[in-house]
């Protein structure tokens, strides 16, 4: 049996004429009329079940020119005479609400609508419908937010309940958040690249950054595409604030979006940041080429800024109350947060968080705790890192308990070593709390045994993006190795080309793991040679990583992981650990120091 997935859309009905036939359920008819006129269409009602229904609808919409009520039986010619003159009198949509004994009339209406290509919904009769209205929440504050849920006929009551559950979990300021993001986006688009706005339908850059109306398919794999921080093109400069805002929408907690201001975007950086980094850029550009080829490990990342700190200064600072902890928050799920990390989060005065730390972890931060989320957006990594270091140092000098909250583990491509040296040289030796690294937890939640007898006897963790965006040194292919590439999906085509050119097996299994251990986790299995095509097709759901090796398919049936040119990938959605997570969330919320 083939299951057809309905194509759900948000329709622009302004100026249309919608015909409502019958009042079997008067309450439903009145609700439908309200929805029709709220969409900007005109409602015309015929075939009253009783004269009393006619009177009640007239009374309810008295004086509203958008509602026309006819005390007459339905005739097929109504379909082609009651509509707009612009379309030859054909109505735009039809809603049928007749008693079941009128089944023959329903069938006649349905067939005629099919011939005329008029969308039709017949109440309680999905077999006589070409569309179904969804259980919808529309933001009463008019922000534009709508949430629609459907079970496709499996239970209208259930759809309504699911909708209520979703709405109840939204932050209280969601209306302001949606409005604020829209206003900022429009302002930035018009201020930074007005000349592009008139042709944005042809401008792939704007579409990739979320400017447009195709919200159902927007999952751009280019959201985190490489931008060279100190050598941006003119177009990249024009798109900078738009790119930053897109990153904020993608990563920041929903509750914080209402208060994001234009000053928090790219142009708000103090000139000293730019001057400092421009200087360091000139110095690094003078280094031999081999220095720019490495990954983001400590030996290849920018050196910690040189500081002159006297012994007396160190002793003086050490006697103050300020202390700092570099804390790993794990891959995303609260169930993978250590008790030590929870203690630090709950007792901090200042939390400096990576943008990749999931919202459910950030929600554990007490409401009164000062929190800053890193602005490490494409083309701004070094400036953002300096900003974090300076904020942390300022907090320490004020005697605060500072927590540098990092996604995964601080020392696995997280600049933890650099930060340790920086704060130590300023007289504050950090306490470092390990976190579960996404490099290994992602394999577990994806049913990938990183090592298994006769399958894989070693694990290698690499970066896909080295310093200044260069590729790392490509390791040799080992058939019994599981290789994990972090920060690689946004440039998968370049990486895979380099791997294949160095002799990697194009047929070796690969897994694209995104949002590991989060509710919207996605695991896509494929073959190495297909990875760039797959990323292009499915888009991106950062943070993500790439796992390559025979272990990727070791626990799955062969039929699921047999890939070829007609079936290039297999996707599994969601991370289902709800009961455990709910219990841990309650424990974390009740946590007392």
Rounded CA-CA distance 47/31 in Å is 17
- For residue 372, pLDDT over 70 is answered with yes
- Tell me whether residue 56 is in a domain: yes
Question: Which of 404, 436, 468 corresponds to the end of one domain?
Answer: 436
Given this model, what pLDDT does residue 156 score? 67
Decide the pairing of beta strands 522-527 and 569-573.
Answer: antiparallel
Q: What's the average model confidence in pLDDT over 442-447?
A: 95
Q: What's the average model confidence in pLDDT over 461-471?
A: 80
The CATH code of the domain that includes 73 is 3.40.50.720
- Tell me whether residue 469 is in a domain: yes
pLDDT digits (tens, 9 = 90+) for 476-505: 999 999 999 998 888 899 999 999 999 999
Note whether 537 and 484 are same-domain residues: yes
Exposed / middle / buried, residue 168 (Cβ in 10 Å: 0-12, 13-18, 19+): exposed
Provide the angle, in degrees to the nearest 10, between the axes of the packed helices 240-251 and 174-192: 160
Among the residue ranges 67-76, 151-160, 477-486, the one predicted with the least confidence is: 151-160
DSSP state of 474: P
Question: Which of 237, 268, 299 corresponds to the end of one domain?
Answer: 268
Note whether 294 and 431 are same-domain residues: yes
Note whether 397 and 466 are same-domain residues: no
Exposed / middle / buried, residue 51 (Cβ in 10 Å: 0-12, 13-18, 19+): exposed
Q: What's the average model confidence in pLDDT over 524-537?
A: 93
Note whether 381 and 469 are same-domain residues: no
Sign of CA dihedral 339, 345, 347, 348: positive
Read off the pLDDT band of 582 (50, 70, 90): low
Given this model, what pLDDT does residue 281 score? 41
Note whether 257 and 342 are same-domain residues: no
- Tell me whether residue 304 is in a domain: yes
Given this model, what pLDDT does residue 590 score? 58
The CATH code of the domain that includes 354 is 3.40.1010.10
Read off the pLDDT band of 135 (50, 70, 90): confident
Domain range enclosing 56: 17-133
Rounded CA-CA distance 240/265 in Å is 9
Note whether 255 and 296 are same-domain residues: no
Given this model, what pLDDT does residue 21 score? 97
Read off the pLDDT band of 580 (50, 70, 90): low
Given this model, what pLDDT does residue 345 score? 95
- Tell me whether residue 128 is in a domain: yes
Given this model, what pLDDT does residue 275 score? 43
Beta strands in 421-475 (DSSP E): 431-433, 458-463
Question: Which of 72, 103, 133 corresponds to the end of one domain?
Answer: 133
- Tell me whether residue 310 is in a domain: yes
Read off the pLDDT band of 95 (50, 70, 90): very high
Note whether 203 and 259 are same-domain residues: yes
Rounded-to-10 torsion of CA 427, 433, 434, 438: -90
Note whether 428 and 311 are same-domain residues: yes
- Tell me whether residue 343 is in a domain: yes
Among the residue ranges 78-92, 190-204, 340-354, 360-374, the one predicted with the least confidence is: 190-204
Note whether 474 and 550 are same-domain residues: yes
Given this model, what pLDDT does residue 4 score? 74
Given this model, what pLDDT does residue 411 score? 94
pLDDT digits (tens, 9 = 90+) for 245-258: 888 888 888 888 99
The percentage of the chain sitting over the pLDDT mark of 90, rounded to a whole number, equals 53
- Tell me whether residue 231 is in a domain: yes
Q: How many CB atoms lie within 10 A of CB 235?
A: 12
Q: Which range scores top for mean pLDDT: 4-8, 576-580, 585-589? A: 4-8
- Tell me whether residue 251 is in a domain: yes
Rounded CA-CA distance 229/206 in Å is 19
State the residue for tokens 């790439």.
546
Which residues form the catalytic set? 354, 376
The CATH code of the domain that includes 562 is 3.30.950.10
Number of domains in the chain: 4
Read off the pLDDT band of 225 (50, 70, 90): low
Given this model, what pLDDT does residue 270 score? 38
Nearest C-alpha neighbor of 207 from the set 179, 181, 242: 242
- For residue 206, pLDDT over 90 is answered with no
List strands edge to edge, sheet with 93-96: 67-69, 42-46, 17-21, 93-96, 120-122
- For residue 121, pLDDT over 60 is answered with yes
Note whether 305 and 353 are same-domain residues: yes
Given this model, what pLDDT does residue 158 score? 87
Q: What's the average model confidence in pLDDT over 302-317?
A: 46
pTM for the model: 0.63
Note whether 403 and 449 are same-domain residues: no
Helix (H) or strand (E) holding 262: none
Given this model, what pLDDT does residue 274 score? 40
CB-facing half-sphere around the CA of 274: CA atoms within 13 A: 7
The percentage of the chain sitting over the pLDDT mark of 70, rounded to a whole number, equals 78
pLDDT digits (tens, 9 = 90+) for 246-298: 888 888 888 889 999 888 776 543 333 344 444 444 343 333 333 333 333 33
Helix (H) or strand (E) holding 480: none
Q: What's the average model confidence in pLDDT over 230-235?
A: 57
Given this model, what pLDDT does residue 161 score? 85
Note whether 331 and 426 are same-domain residues: yes
- For residue 412, pLDDT over 60 is answered with yes
DSSP state of 355: T
- For residue 31, pLDDT over 80 is answered with yes
- For residue 350, pLDDT over 90 is answered with yes
């Amino acid at each position: 049996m083939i299951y057809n997935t309905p194509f759900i859309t948000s329709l622009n009905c302004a100026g249309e004429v919608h015909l409502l036939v019958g009042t079997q359920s008067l309450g439903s008819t009145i609700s439908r009329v309200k929805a029709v006129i709220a969409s900007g269409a005109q409602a015309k009602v015929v075939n009253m079940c009783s004269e009393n229904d006619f009177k009640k609808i007239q009374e309810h919409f008295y004086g509203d020119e958008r509602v026309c009520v006819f005390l007459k039986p339905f005739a097929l010619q109504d379909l082609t005479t009651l509509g707009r003159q612009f379309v030859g009198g054909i109505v735009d949509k039809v809603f049928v609400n007749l008693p079941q004994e009128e089944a023959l009339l329903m069938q006649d209406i349905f067939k005629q609508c099919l011939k005329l290509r008029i969308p039709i919904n017949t109440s309680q009769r999905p077999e006589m419908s070409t569309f179904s209205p969804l259980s919808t929440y529309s933001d009463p504050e008019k922000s534009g937010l709508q949430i629609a849920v459907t079970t496709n006929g499996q239970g209208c009551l259930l759809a309504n309940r699911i909708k209520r559950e979703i709405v109840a979990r939204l932050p209280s300021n969601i209306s302001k958040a949606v409005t604020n993001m829209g206003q900022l986006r429009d302002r930035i688009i018009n201020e930074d690249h007005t000349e592009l706005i008139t042709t944005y339908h042809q401008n792939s850059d704007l579409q990739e950054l979320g400017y447009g109306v195709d919200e159902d398919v927007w999952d751009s794999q280019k959201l985190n595409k490489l931008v060279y921080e100190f050598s941006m093109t003119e177009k990249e400069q024009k798109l900078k604030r738009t790119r930053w805002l897109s990153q904020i929408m993608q990563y920041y907690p929903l509750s914080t979006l209402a208060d994001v201001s234009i000053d928090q975007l790219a142009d708000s950086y103090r000139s000293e940041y730019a001057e400092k980094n421009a200087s360091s850029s000139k110095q690094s550009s003078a280094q031999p080429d081999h220095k720019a080829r490495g990954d983001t490990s400590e030996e290849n990342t920018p050196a910690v800024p040189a500081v002159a700190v006297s012994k007396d200064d160190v002793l003086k600072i050490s006697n103050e109350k300020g202390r700092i902890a570099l804390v790993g928050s794990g891959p995303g799920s609260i169930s993978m947060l250590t008790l030590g990390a929870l203690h630090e989060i709950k007792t901090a005065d200042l939390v400096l968080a990576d943008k990749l730390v999931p919202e459910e972890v950030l929600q554990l931060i007490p409401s009164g705790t000062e929190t800053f989320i890193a602005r490490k957006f494409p083309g701004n990594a070094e400036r953002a890192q300096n900003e974090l270091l300076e904020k942390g140092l300022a907090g320490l000098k004020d005697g605060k308990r500072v927590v540098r909250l990092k996604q995964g583990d601080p020392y696995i491509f997280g600049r933890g070593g650099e930060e340790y040296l920086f704060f130590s040289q300023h007289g504050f030796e950090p306490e470092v709390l390990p976190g579960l690294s996404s490099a290994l937890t992602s394999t577990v939640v994806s049913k990938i045994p990183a090592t298994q007898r006769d399958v894989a006897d070693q694990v290698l963790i690499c970066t896909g993006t080295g310093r200044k965006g260069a590729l790392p040194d490509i390791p040799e292919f080992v058939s019994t190795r599981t290789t994990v590439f972090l920060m690689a999906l946004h440039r998968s085509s370049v990486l895979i080309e380099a791997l294949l050119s160095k002799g990697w097996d194009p047929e070796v299994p690969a897994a694209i793991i995104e949002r590991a251990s989060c509710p919207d986790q996605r695991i896509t299995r494929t073959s190495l040679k297909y990875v760039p095509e797959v990323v292009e097709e499915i888009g991106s759901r950062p943070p993500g990583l790439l796992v390559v090796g025979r272990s990727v398919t070791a626990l799955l049936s062969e039929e699921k992981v047999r890939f070829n040119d007609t079936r290039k990938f297999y996707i599994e959605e969601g991370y289902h650990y709800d009961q455990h997570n709910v219990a841990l969330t309650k424990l974390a919320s009740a946590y007392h120091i």
